[in-house]
Structure 1
Amino acid sequence: MHTQLPFLLAMIVAIVLLNMLANKLKIAYPILLVVAGLLVGFLPGLPMVRIDPDLIFFIFLPPLLFEASWTISFKEMKKWWRIIGSFAFLVVFFTASSVAVVAHHFIPGFTIALGFLLGGIVSPPDAVSTGAITKFVKIPKGTSAILEGESLLNDASSLIIFRFALVAVGTGQFFWQQAAISFLWMVLGGVAIGLLLAWIFVQAHKRLPLDAQSNIALTLIEPYFMYWLAEQFHCSGVLAVVSGGLYLSAKRLVFLNSTSRIQSFSVWESFVFILNGIVFLIIGLELPEIVEGMREKGIPLRTAIGSGVLITGVLIAARVISSYAALLATFIFRPGVMPRARSKKRRWLMPMLLGWTGMRGVVSLAAALAIPITLDNGAAFPQRNLILFITFIVILLTLVVQGLTLPSIISRSGLFEGLMEEEPEELTRRKMKQGLKQHVYQFLKNKYETELNGHAGMEKLLKLWEERAKAADDTWMNEKTKVIFVELLETQRQYLTELNKDPKIDEDIIRQQLYQIDLEEERLRII
């Protein structure tokens, strides 16, 4: 342990340095992480870091999915639920099936069950990687919401395929009727358990005398407990975490105070960032052993690389085909919601671009590492090292090739120039702030009109919201005006919550303003 701890700390330092370099180069940090994971495997003398495959999912997936469900806009997910649902479930099944058929026919030693196992691992695009890459280019909010929502939900469907394929590989049998019943139970049971536990956690946050540190500590425990309990009932732990996380995110203003919300944002962002980096570096540390295992099985490195390139091509082709199928289905059945573009050429080029956004990442890595080393009968798990190697090649190629070219393709093609129908962000922000100030001013004037005359503090408070002039000092903020000021902040939150129901308003802007209100409340506490 004493020899491993300095190395683990060095890994975290390396992750931080790689993120600094990525920001300087203006590329997504997962790209540098996967390249570093490849290079670190060739460094001599590094210790082996092994994690029990049974613990991989439990350690890494719950917090990653929980954090993603807190940051996504549920309003946008509801707006685009049809296409998100089709990409998260139908496209994942189509992609996994395509990988299974190709792997069975073209990769020696792969059964159809092993093909579905590999398909379940590499099917889901990664939410973190997609978000990190698209932040460098301007894309419509609808497209961004589709990519984020799909990346959040497709983890559940792909990992259900992964679990069924593991059983099929271990037993050599697969019963479709039993699988269909199990699938329904995993989905419905997982969602129900996640929502039930989320409601219980909300009540605990509200009723227990918790401070900010205790609130944050409890949020760190919650995704693990949701995942564990769902798995005990043989449900989808992933869906439990996602559904519970979405519920808690919607209720965050109810059970967390401003201090907890501000501090938890930084804690969770740093925690998830470190987890992502560790997974990429762990696979790099295991690469030499993986390559050696393939060599012992008589699998040449060139053949394994070729298999990885082949599967990557299948994934990209399946996603592009699915994108065009979705556009064609929309054109036939719901032409009123067809994406608008300046020309038909641009409209039919958009699915190609959507197909190019399928970067794989940490969920695929975690799933591959979670493959057991041996079967129940003690025999070595077939093709484990080759599956791990192919998964790494897929992630490497999709992140480096697609990830590096995607921003350039979007900016140079001009595909989104005619699609930016949303109000310019700065104009939306100005309108929101103007409405917010008017709302607060009217609230003050109507409720405290009788207290304004002759009260210097109240007069300054009214003037502050009438003109937003900066006060010379905070001596006017006595206990009475402080209570009123806190009430003003709360009414602003209520106003923004109602404003968020407008489908034309970007939820990210609302959340940014809510964060500023939390900061204002924290400043008020120390006056």
Structure 2
Amino acid sequence: MHTLLPFFLAMIAAIVLLNMWANKLKIAYPILLVIAGLAVSFIPGLPVIKIDPDLIFFIFLPPLLFEATWSVSFKEMKKWYRIITSFAFLVVFFTALLVAVVTNYFIPGFTIVLGFLLGGIVSPPDAVSTGAITKFVKIPKSTSAILEGESLLNDASSLIIFRFAMVAVGTGQFIWHEAALSFVWMVIGGAAIGLALAWFFVQAQKRLPTDAPSDIALTLVQPYFMYWVAEQLHSSGVLAVVAGGLYMSTQRLVFLNSASRIMGYSVWQSFVFILNGIVFLIIGLELPEIVSGIRSAGIPLSTAIGYGVLVTGVLIFARMLSSYAALVATMIFRPQNTPRAISKKRRWLMPALLGWTGMRGVVSLAAALSIPVTLDNGTLFPQRDLILFITFVAILLTLLVQGLTLPYIINKTGLFEGIFDETDEEVTRKKMKQGLKTHIYEYLKEKYADEIGGNTVIAKLLQQWEERAKAADDTWMSEKSKLIFVELLEIQRQYLTELNKDPKINEEIIRQQLYQIDLEEERLKMI
């Protein structure tokens, strides 16, 4: 323990430094972390990191998925649910099937079942990698919503394929009707368990006298509990966390106060950043050991690399093909949702962009490392080292090749030129703020009409809100009456919640304004 602790502390320090360097270079930090892990792994004398395969999912997946549900726009997910669900389930299954067929044909000793196992591992794109890469370029909110929503659900579908393939490898048989029933229970049961537990957590925290530290501590525990309960009931822990997290994110104004929301945002950002950093470092650190396993199995390194490149090509091809199929289906059945572009040529280039965003990462690594060394009967797991190596090659290639070229492609081709109106968000933001001022002024005038004449505080407050509603800027000073002001802040939250129901309003702008209101409430408490 004393030898590992300095190493882990050094890992965290390296993650922070590499992230700063990545921001300076304007590239995604997962790329630098993988390269750094690979470079560090060749330093002699470093301790070997071993993670229990049974714990790899439980340690990393629940918090990463839970945090993602709080960041995604649920309104945008509902708007694009057709393409999101098709990519999260149909495309994942199609990719796994294609990987199974190709590997069975080209790799000696690779059965269809092992191919499905590998397909389940490498089929889900990684949201962290995509988000880290696309933050340096501007993409439409519809594309961002599709990528974020897909990443929440495709983990569940790929891990279901992975689980069924593992059972088939271990037992040597696959019973379709039992698998179908199990699939239904995993999907419906997982979502139901997550929603039920999330509802209970919301009700409990709403009624208990919690403060910010205890609220944050509870949110750190909740995703693990959802995942564990669902897995104990042989359902999908991933779907439980996703469904529960989405419900709790929509209820954040109900059971968390302003201090909990502000502090929780910072804590979760740091926590998830460290988890992601550790995972991507492990990707690089583990590769030399996997290479030694390949060599001990008698497989030439060049041959194994060729297999990895082949599977990576299959992944890119499957996603590209699916992206164009989705565009054609949208143009035929829902032409009003066809992506905007300044020309037909650029419209037909957009699916290529969506297909090129299929970087692999955390989930693929966790699934690969969770493969046991031996089966229940004591025999070695067939092709384990090769499966691990192909997975690592797919992660490395998609991160390095697609990750480094994606921003360049977007900027060079100008795919989204003419789509963005730089004034749109600013106009929306100004209209929202003006609506808030007018709404509060009318609220004060209606509720405190009888007290305006005899209460100088309320009269002055009303006058100031009237001036603020008429002003073109924010040169308004806060009032001393905290209770009334806090009440007005809550009225503003209610107004923004109603405003968010408008499908034309960007939810990110609403969340930014709600965060500003939380900060204002905390500032008032300090007066």
Q: What interval of TM-score do these two structures reach, taking the shorter chain for normalisation?
A: over 0.9
| Cα distance, 1:135 vs structure 2 | 1.4
- Once the two structures are superposed, what CA deviation does each residue of 1:312-340 show, in whole Å capped at 9, x if it has no partner? 11100000001111112222333333223
Amino acid at match of 1:375: L
Unaligned runs of 5+ in 2: 469-473
Q: Is the 8 A contact 1:40 1:281 kept in 2?
A: no
Letter in 1 for 2:466: E
Indicate how the Cα distance of structure 1 residues 460 and 182 shifts in structure 2: closer, same or farther if over 3 A, else same: same
Alignment of 1:396-475 (within 5 A): 396-420=396-420, 424-453=424-453, 455-468=455-468
Deviation at 1:206, TM superposition (A): 0.8
C-alpha separation between the residues in 2 aligned to 1:422 and 1:233?
50
SS in 1 for 2:174: coil
Aligned partners of 1:4 and 1:47 also within 8 Å: yes
Residues 464, 470 of structure 1: 8 Å contact kept: no
Tell me, what secondary structure is at the counterpart of 1:109? Answer: coil
Deviation digits for residues 395-428 of structure 1, max 9, x if unmatched? 1111111111111211221222243479721111
State percent identity of aligned pairs.
78
Distance in 2 (CA, whole Å) between partners of 1:226 and 1:436 is 38
1:237-256 matches, within 5 Å, as 237-256=237-256
Residue 485 of structure 1 pairs with residue 489 of structure 2: no
SS of the aligned residue for 1:424 comes to helix
SS for the counterpart of 1:426 is helix
Q: In structure 2, do the counterparts of structure 1 residues 354 and 490 end up closer, same or farther at CA, with 3 Å as the change threshold?
A: same
Output the amino acid matched with 1:249. S
Q: Which residue of 2 aligns with 1:305?
A: 305
**2:102 corresponds to which residue?**
102
Give 1:517's aligned residue: 517
Which segment drifts farther, 100-109 or 235-244?
100-109
TM-superposed CA distance for 1:454, in Å, is 5.7
SS at match of 2:88: helix
The correspondence of residues 48-67 of structure 1 with structure 2, limited to 5 A, is: 48-67=48-67
Are 2:356 and 1:356 aligned?
yes
- What is the letter of the counterpart of residue 356 of structure 2? W
Task: Tell me which residue corresponds to 2:319.
Answer: 319
Q: 1:226 aligns to what SS in structure 2? A: helix
Instruction: Tell whether 2:275 aligns with 1:272.
Output: no
Partner of 1:30: 30
For 1:316, the aligned partner's letter is I
Residue in 2 aligned with 1:41? Answer: 41
- 8 Å CA contact 1:422, 1:504 repeated in 2: no
Cα deviation digits, residues 68-115 of structure 1 (max 9, x gap): 011100000000000001000000000011111111111233211111
- CA deviation after TM superposition for structure 1 residue 20, in Å: 0.6
1:282 match? 282
Q: Deviations over 1:145-182 (max 9, x none)?
A: 01111111100000100101111111111122211111
Q: TM-score normalised to the size of structure 2?
A: 0.96
Task: Provide the residue aligned with 1:153 in structure 2.
Answer: 153
| 1:7 corresponding residue in structure 2 | 7
1:222 is aligned to 222
Task: Answer with 331-340 or 189-198: which moved more.
Answer: 331-340
The range that moved more, 335-344 or 162-171, is: 335-344
Provide the TM-score with structure 1 as the length reference.
0.96
Q: In the alignment, is the contact (CA less than 8 A) between 1:205 and 1:255 conserved in 2?
A: yes
Q: Structure 1 stretch 414-423 or stretch 20-29: which is displaced more? A: 414-423
Larger deviation, residues 380-389 vs 509-518: 380-389
Cα drift, residue 456 of structure 1: 4.5
* CA-CA distance at 1:460 after TM superposition: 4.2
SS at match of 2:94: helix
- Worse overlay, 438-447 or 80-89: 438-447
| TM-superposed deviation, 1:488 | 0.2
Amino acid across the alignment from 1:497:
T
Does residue 203 of structure 2 align to residue 232 of structure 1?
A: no
Name the CA shift for 1:184/1:24 in 2 (closer, same or farther; >3 Å).
same
Using the alignment, how far apart are the partners of 2:113 and 2:233 within structure 1?
Answer: 25
What's the CA shift for 1:285? 2.6
- Aligned partners of 1:251, 1:505: CA distance in 2, in Å? 19
Question: What SS does the aligned partner of 2:377 have?
Answer: coil
Identify the residue that residue 74 of structure 1 maps to in structure 2: 74
Equivalent-residue separation in structure 1 for 2:475 and 2:430 (angstroms): 19
Mean Cα deviation higher: 37-46 or 141-150: 37-46
The equivalent of 1:130 in structure 2 is 130
Q: Which amino acid aligns with 2:45?
A: G
Deviation string for 1:220-274 (max 9, x for gaps)?
A: 1100010000011110000000000000000000000000000110111111111
Shift of 1:490: 0.1
Distance 1:137 1:146 in 2: 16
Equivalent-residue separation in structure 1 for 2:128 and 2:205 (angstroms): 28
Q: Is residue 2:330 matched to residue 1:330?
A: yes
Give the Å deviation of 1:467.
3.6
Residue 35 (structure 1) shift: 1.5
1:20 paired to 2:20: yes
Deviation at 1:470, TM superposition (A): 5.0
RMSD: 1.6
Measured at CA, do residues 467 and 396 of structure 1 come closer, stay the same or move farther in structure 2, by a change above 3 Å? Answer: farther
Q: Secondary structure at the match of 2:39?
A: helix
Please tell me whether the aligned partners of residues 305 and 393 of structure 1 are also in contact (alpha carbons under 8 angstroms): yes
Task: Name the CA distance, whole Å, in 2 between partners of 1:79 and 1:104.
Answer: 39
State the 4+ residue runs in structure 1 displaced beyond 6 angstroms. none
Contact 1:429 1:509 (8 Å CA) reproduced: yes
| Structure 2: distance between partners of 1:72 and 1:356 | 21
Please give the alpha-carbon distance, in whole angstroms, between the structure 2 residues aligned to 1:509 and 1:234: 40
Partner residue, 2:471: none
Structure 2 distance, partners of 1:471, 1:122, is 55
**Cα shift at 1:506:** 0.3
Work out the CA distance in 1 between the residues paired with 2:190 and 2:488: 40
CA distance in 1, matches of 2:526, 2:417: 47
1:156–1:238 CA contact under 8 A, matched in 2:
yes
**Are the counterparts in 2 of residues 140 and 422 from structure 1 also a CA contact under 8 Å?**
no
Distance, in Å, in 2 between the alignment partners of 1:460 and 1:26 is 50
- Structure 2 vs 1, CA of residues 423 and 245 (structure 1 numbering), >3 Å: closer, same or farther? farther
